[in-house]
Amino acid sequence: MTGPARTPIEDVTLRLADTVAWLTTPLMPEDYLTLINPLWSSRELRGRVEAVRPETKDVASLVIRPGRGWSAHRAGQFIRVGVDVDGVRHWRTYSLSSAPERGAGRVTITVKAVPGGVVSTHLVHRTKPGTIVGLTRPQGDFVLPEPVPSRLLFVTAGSGITPVMAMLRSLARIGEMPDAIVLHSAPTREEVIFGPELRTLASRFPNLLLHERHTRSSGRLDLSQLPDLCPDWSERHVWACGPTGMLREAETYWREAGVVDRLHVEHFRPVLTGSTAGGAGHVRFLASGREADTDGATPLLVVGENAGILMSSGCRMGICYSCTGRLRSGRVRDLRTGREYGEEGEIVQTCVSAAVGNVEIEL
């Protein structure tokens, strides 16, 4: 990993740590220091949850103070958060909902408790201030360009508002709101995440137009209504975030209009086929020397994690390629498309691939 150039102070700190390591070998000085403050870790970026603020009945914002190694984010980016649930570390991806922090500040993620979601329900309902979580540095290119275009359109639904909220907060803070339209869908008025804040922003900035769509009473937003809501939609740069169905529709709509280059989308989770056509099988993880049975529908990443392997992973939805491994034998199924593939030596994305029968993978 190449980071920014080290400052002289960091240089001295590093050399000092190397020297002190002769006293702590085989451990590092930080193995002792992190017992005092876990945020001092240099091996693992961590954060401390400082507050959990309910937003709606099943959504909460977690205010997190990131530790050593954090770098400031751009509005719209996401991070991965590692949370211990029942003693087991789980990693999930969340958009940052706060505006870029000033100095060593705090950041906010906003999480919706998905029914049956181990991590999201834990974060929303059972996380207490003081909890230490694992973090990754902000990433993703779902961000506003510099300079900000003069006319913007945001199409969001549900918790898809979170990265857009970071953008709006950021623009509001600078005090220069471009001509922006927000088309946001939520089941009811009460379930609009950041509802009061969005409405306040809209009344504060005449340039900001907020269209709330309450789907339980008015039905889903049909893109054919778009020209009525926003006559110049095809001339605007669009940031869309929400359920995959909505994003697919948007992609088709903008492509057919020939302006798909103006559409920026952020996917939240992959659509898995849930097919078990491969049936049960056995996976051998060659590098770690572990084996596990699989049902043919569970991603190889999860199979490995459940077998106790420290699998490297990123987005967990097939876009970032941090979870890949080389296939030695067997075939796999892409859980997004149902396509079966795999030749010896092929690189497989473990987060969206399940074993078809027996598989050997170099992980």
CA distance 138 to 71: 7
Cβ at position 69, least distance to other proteins in Å? 15
The nearest distance, CB 263 to other proteins, in angstroms, is 37
Residue 45: burial class (beta carbons within 10 Å; 0-12, 13-18, 19+):
buried
DSSP helix/strand/coil, 8 = helix
Binding segment toward other proteins, per CB under 8 A, in 7-15, 28-36, 52-60, 267-275: 28-36
Q: Name which of 25 and 224 has its Cβ closer to other proteins.
A: 25
Q: Which is nearer to other proteins, 148 or 309 (CB)?
A: 309
Please name the amino acid found at residue 110.
Answer: T
Instruction: State which of positions 276-295 bind other proteins (CB under 8 A).
Output: 288
Q: How many residues bind other proteins (CB under 8 A)?
A: 22
For position 16 contacting other proteins by CB under 8 A, the verdict is: no
C-alpha distances (whole Å) from 113 to each of 96, 262, 293 are 16, 32, 30
Token representation of residue 247? 């994003």
Using CB under 8 A as the criterion, what x/- string covers residues 78-97 for binding other proteins? Answer: ------x-xxxxx-------
Question: Which of 6, 43, 57, 189 is in the footprint of other proteins by CB under 8 A?
Answer: 43
Q: How far apart are CA 100 and CA 66, in angstroms?
A: 13
222 touches other proteins by CB under 8 A: no
Assess 130 for contact with other proteins (CB under 8 A): no
Output the smallest distance, CB 358 to other proteins, in A.
20
With tokens 């057919």, the residue in question is 256
Phi, psi of 126 (to 5 degrees): -125, 10
DSSP string, 337-355: T--EE--TT-EEEGGGEEE
Q: Which of 208, 209, 212 is nearest to 175 (CA)?
A: 208
Sketch the per residue contact string, 294 through 323, with other proteins: x for CB under 8 A, - otherwise.
-----------x--xxx-------------
For binding to other proteins (CB under 8 A), which residues are involved? Answer: 22-27, 31-32, 35, 43-44, 84, 86-90, 288, 305, 308-310
